[in-house]
Amino acid sequence: MALINVKDLSLGYDGHEILTGLNFSVEAGNYLCIVGENGSGKSTLMKTMLSLQRPLSGSIAFGDGLKPNEIGYLPQQTAVQKDFPATVWEIVRSGCQARMGRRPFYSKEEKQLVRENMEKMGIMPFARRCYRELSGGQQQRVLLARALCATRKLLLLDEPVSGLDPKVTAEMYQLIESLNRQEGVTIIMISHDIAAAVRYATHILHVGHQVFFGPVEEYVHSPIARRFLDAEGGKQA
């Protein structure tokens, strides 16, 4: 069975539909990029998959023994976080909150897990630094390490490279790619960067007036991708 199976999903706010009749599935080890225009419902879709929001209709089923709270999530940064007094260690540690359950304090194993994930992300040297003093790329790696503490199976990333400079963006993409290829972590990523999406992903979900879901090879030859690639290319140039 697929890791995630989405059937006839309709999304929206206050009964107002943004997306309807969405069908797709994600297998373990996939790297799925969700692309589409602003306001097409990408973030809403991700929030619904995280059960932060109810679907208007349809269903999202988790398979392969994946529990809804075993998903690592990298949200877009909020204004509050940019001025938050907390060390890198404190923030990465909070990724273990699902493992912790009702226990009030973190265990030795959890602290070890935090260290491992910080080393993986190369942020161990900043452990005692304040989050708000880090660069944008370093902050994203902190949040990625936190997400990894929550999961070994599936990461949901909401525009992980927005606001980063090209060099840091490339590093971030490589980091995510290595998590996918070497660690076998399934990736679902919202992206505005269609060129990178086509380059790194195995599957594409294009949402908007027209919906496309399929392997990236099929996507690049589809008419919907051409139109989108042209428009995006013009905007980014």
Q: Does 75 bind another protein (CB under 8 A)?
A: yes
Query: Interface with another protein includes 109 (CB under 8 A)?
Result: no
- Residue placing its CB nearer to another protein in the complex, 156 or 207: 156
For the bound state, the minimum distance from the C-beta of residue 214 to another protein, rounded and expressed in Å, comes to 27
Residue 95 CB neighbour total at 10 angstroms: 24
| Of 49 and 204, CB closest to another protein | 49
* Residue 190 near residue 34, CB atoms below 8 Å: yes
Q: Does 80 bind another protein (CB under 8 A)?
A: yes
Please choose, from the candidates 93, 95, 100, the residue with its C-alpha nearest in 3D space to the C-alpha of residue 73: 95
Give the range of 32-40, 43-51, 161-169, 218-226 binding another protein by CB under 8 A.
Answer: 43-51
Q: Can residue 20 be called a binding residue for another protein (CB under 8 A)?
A: no
Tokens of 139: 């902050």
The verdict on 104 binding another protein (CB under 8 A) reads yes
Least Å distance between CB 130 and another protein? 3
Cβ proximity to another protein, 69 vs 112, nearer residue = 69
Q: For another protein, give the closer residue by CB, 48 or 169.
A: 48
Applying CB under 8 A, which of residues 2, 106, 116, 177 lies at the interface with another protein? 106
Tell whether residue 94 is a contact of another protein (CB under 8 A). yes
Instruction: Give the one residue of 64, 109, 119, 133 binding another protein; rule: CB under 8 A.
Output: 133
Task: Compute the least distance from the CB of residue 4 to another protein, in Å.
Answer: 14
Residues at the site binding another protein, with contacts judged by CB under 8 A? 47, 50-52, 68-69, 71, 73, 75, 78, 80-81, 84-87, 90-91, 93-95, 97-98, 100, 104-106, 128-130, 133, 146-147, 150, 156
